[in-house]
Structure 1
């Protein structure tokens, strides 16, 4: 399926699906539970994902591979609607109460059983052959620790206007140019939406969970550590993801750290911004 084929699933819920799609997803997750020794683990953090989640799940159900794999969703104080979607379809969900994308990915690392870990995003649509393209290179090159790719963007309702198609073409050219550069340039342009990592390289490092004001949150920092352990490989594969939300320069996206979560208590907001803890009021 093309990303535009998912338009009717934007904002979908299990109840709004037709019987064929509902049964497809329920059967898909039932079969995944029967995989005893997964080689690849797909890990998706969940925070606020209700509008795109069903489409993401359908894209996973369209994956074509003979490699045994598992899918783990890490709910990180997720909204009730997103959790309901996952629970009603029988997906594997684990919880990480410490707010932050790196906390969620670290929880996924702990729970994963596969030798290769793929970091996924719930607003993204993946190539049907994504697992084969991202995982098989690790079995050819024993020095390989990271496979990465470039995502393209879609507009609301998974649309691709002529302007967006042009933007995507320019983005691919730009990022391929940056990723062909020196180490410091390459690291800054690797994104977690399309990363596959060798588990035995990642496990001793883990994710840095105290990233309070680092742009990109978990991807560039992790790539820096992995660079000292082995080689990287760029993989041309189709991944479509939502346009990122707006943010203040130098600050991460709101889901990256609890310090940037909105609160109804203005006094607590002030203390948090000033990084004051254990203050009596």
Structure 2
């Protein structure tokens, strides 16, 4: 696998549509055929995807999940977090379990998903992300280890003209290096809902935060440490991929790197202080 280009498997999910009305019925039919093959009515794993105003991205995300290569029985749950666009229309045309959480925020949405999940294990996912075919297997290899109650995977950015892969690779190396340091004492700061897994029994005992603020994923992970260990899924093949829209908010590539370095330096000393 070359780090300097997007994985080949992503190309088929870069649908050219911008609105729900543009999605052809044949695409829904194709994805649903695959969903019917891979999902189980008695899942060991529940993949909980949260979505807010993602009428096209949720199609891409579920499309990747429909191509999962695993013998582990799983189900897909999509929680619509009070979207104002046609996200629900897209979800309604897909063969997945779906719920609508009116309380705004990732915490309430993820909480709704885990309450409805049938699996022993929860894997969390975001609607604007692409999941490789080996993701479930790679995550469960770590999550099912003795004493592990929570895991997290890493993620990469999909290269495009304004942000080529060689630039994004530099950013990822910086990000991964700091994540390695944080894992020593504060692994929960690396635990993001984009690629996270945990034992549902303990997740239900703790619960996600019920207000609309960031950090619901790390908060749950930190609280889960009372029941066991947090581990990282390190497989490069199992990395999740996402677009660069969050990066473009910071402007140029130089500004992005500079702001990341400043942020990491500011909290560098805390990487060696345990809060548990």
Residue 246 of structure 2 is matched in structure 1 by 244
- Give the 3-state SS of the residue equivalent to 1:203 in structure 2: helix
Residue 82 of structure 1 is matched in structure 2 by 87
Residue 65 of structure 1 is matched in structure 2 by 70
Match of 1:47 among 52, 55, 76: 52
What residue ranges of structure 2 are gaps of 5+ in the alignment? 1-7, 251-276
How far apart are the structure 2 equivalents of 1:59 and 1:14?
21
Contact kept, 8 Å, 2:130 with 2:240, in 1: the verdict is: yes
How far apart are the structure 2 equivalents of 1:151 and 1:74?
22
Judged with a 3 Å threshold, the aligned counterparts in structure 2 of structure 1 residues 14 and 132 are, in CA distance, closer, same or farther, namely farther
Residue 18 of structure 2 is matched in structure 1 by 11
Judged with a 3 Å threshold, the aligned counterparts in structure 2 of structure 1 residues 97 and 211 are, in CA distance, closer, same or farther, namely closer
Residue 160 of structure 2 is matched in structure 1 by 160
Contact kept, 8 Å, 1:4 with 1:160, in 2: the verdict is: no
Corresponding pairs, count: 237
Residue 152 of structure 2 is matched in structure 1 by 148
- Give the Å deviation of 1:131: 0.4
Judged with a 3 Å threshold, the aligned counterparts in structure 2 of structure 1 residues 93 and 74 are, in CA distance, closer, same or farther, namely same
Pairing 1:218-237 to 2, within 5 Å after superposition: 218-235=216-233, 236=235, 237=238
| Cα shift readout 1:44-66 (whole Å, capped 9, x = no counterpart) | 11211013222112111111111
Pairing 1:89-238 to 2, within 5 Å after superposition: 89-139=94-144, 141-154=145-158, 160-161=160-161, 163-182=163-182, 183=184, 186-210=187-211, 212=213, 216-235=214-233, 236=235, 237-238=238-239
TM-score of the two chains, using structure 2 as the length reference: 0.76
How far apart are the structure 2 equivalents of 1:164 and 1:100?
32
Contact kept, 8 Å, 2:43 with 2:74, in 1: the verdict is: yes
How far apart are the structure 1 equivalents of 2:109 and 2:246?
19
- Give the Å deviation of 1:14: 7.7
CA RMSD of aligned residues (A): 2.5
How far apart are the structure 2 equivalents of 1:12 and 1:59?
19
- Give the 3-state SS of the residue equivalent to 1:2 in structure 2: helix
TM-score of the two chains, using structure 1 as the length reference: 0.75
Does 160-169 or 90-99 show the bigger shift? 160-169
Pairing 1:255-270 to 2, within 5 Å after superposition: none
Contact kept, 8 Å, 1:146 with 1:196, in 2: the verdict is: yes
